[in-house]
Amino acid sequence: MANPGSKPEQVLIIEPEHELKFQGPFTSPVTSYMKLTNPTTKKVCFKIKTTAPKKYCVRPNSGVLDAKASIDVAVTLQPFEFDPNEKNKHKFMVQTLIAPEEEFNLDSVWKDANPDSLMDSKLKCVFEIPVDPATASRENNVDASPAIHEEKSKRIGDGAKSSPKPNAAVDGELMKAAAEVKRLREEESNLRQENLQLKEEILRLRRAISNVDLSPQMASSTTAMAPAPLPFMYLAAAIAMGLMGIILGKFLL
């Protein structure tokens, strides 16, 4: 049996070093992160194990870390019913070994590894429940001694007595300022109305100008379409009647 003292020391730098903290409430998945850093000039194989594999999801849970490289490992705690009275015994172990210099298969390396060459570090899981500020405030008020409450009341009373009364001059200035603001608002309203009137007047003038520009064209077109003078029409009618009389006279004779 190998002597535990003969195990080599962990070559990776693990952050955090001793504890993985998970912040509740635990009604949804909670993730904590572990950072692995390889300060050596050799590749290092790593594997992460836990005493409660059904309660955690670890990504990545194994791999090879290059020289002078780092990696973040996400450890996700699955939702569960948290009981503060139940003692937590969940733990994680980071197991490592120096990778071979030649090409290798990771599964075979772990399978054929000498137990004396393995390095491991253990971290325990800590569950934290956030404190409700309202509850903490109520507890602080209950724990406070009557002497403290009396001192607070005395300070409030002294502050009320020592507070200066409103100054009449200040009130007068405030009233003047309010009147000035009201006057400025009325002027602003009048200016807006005048602006609208000017816009309407400009629009009316534009329409008038447009009508003036189109009037000559309309006059010329009207003249072109006007009917012929009445005397010309009478002359044409007389000629037509004369022709009809000549034709009828030939037939009658």
Give tens-digit pLDDT for 106-144: 999 999 999 999 999 999 999 998 766 555 455 555 444
In this prediction, residue 30 carries a pLDDT of: 95
State what percent of residues in the chain have pLDDT above 70.
Answer: 62
Domain 7-128 maps to which CATH number in 2.40.70.10, 3.30.230.10, 2.60.40.10, 3.40.50.1390?
Answer: 2.60.40.10
Of 171 and 110, which is predicted with more confidence? 110
In this prediction, residue 37 carries a pLDDT of: 98
Q: Which are the contacts of 82, defined by CB distance < 8 A and separation ≥ 6?
A: 24, 25, 26, 127, 129
Alpha-carbon gap, residue 12 to 14, rounded angstroms: 6
Mean of pLDDT values over 7-11: 91
- Read off the pLDDT band of 2 (50, 70, 90): very low
Mean of pLDDT values over 150-172: 55
In this prediction, residue 235 carries a pLDDT of: 65
Q: Is the pLDDT of residue 204 over 80?
A: no
Alpha-carbon gap, residue 75 to 56, rounded angstroms: 7
- Provide the mean pLDDT of the chain: 77
DSSP-assigned beta bridge partners for residue 71:
36
In this prediction the pTM is 0.51
- Read off the pLDDT band of 96 (50, 70, 90): very high
In this prediction, residue 199 carries a pLDDT of: 74
Alpha-carbon gap, residue 58 to 60, rounded angstroms: 6
- Read off the pLDDT band of 23 (50, 70, 90): very high
The most confident of 28-37, 78-87, 226-235, by mean pLDDT: 28-37
User: Which residue do the tokens 């172990």 mark?
Assistant: 93
Of 217 and 248, which is predicted with more confidence? 248
Domain residue spans of the chain:
7-128, 177-213
In this prediction, residue 209 carries a pLDDT of: 77
The per-residue b/e assignment along 39-77, b for 16 or more CB within 10 angstroms, e otherwise, is: eeeebbbbbbebeeeeebebeeeeeebeeeeebebebeb
Q: Is the pLDDT of residue 167 over 70?
A: no
Mean of pLDDT values over 15-37: 95
In this prediction, residue 163 carries a pLDDT of: 46
Q: Is the pLDDT of residue 50 over 90?
A: yes
Of 87 and 179, which is predicted with more confidence? 87
DSSP-assigned beta bridge partners for residue 96:
46, 119
Edge-to-edge strand order for the sheet containing 19-23? 19-23, 119-128, 91-98, 44-50, 62-65
In this prediction, residue 105 carries a pLDDT of: 94
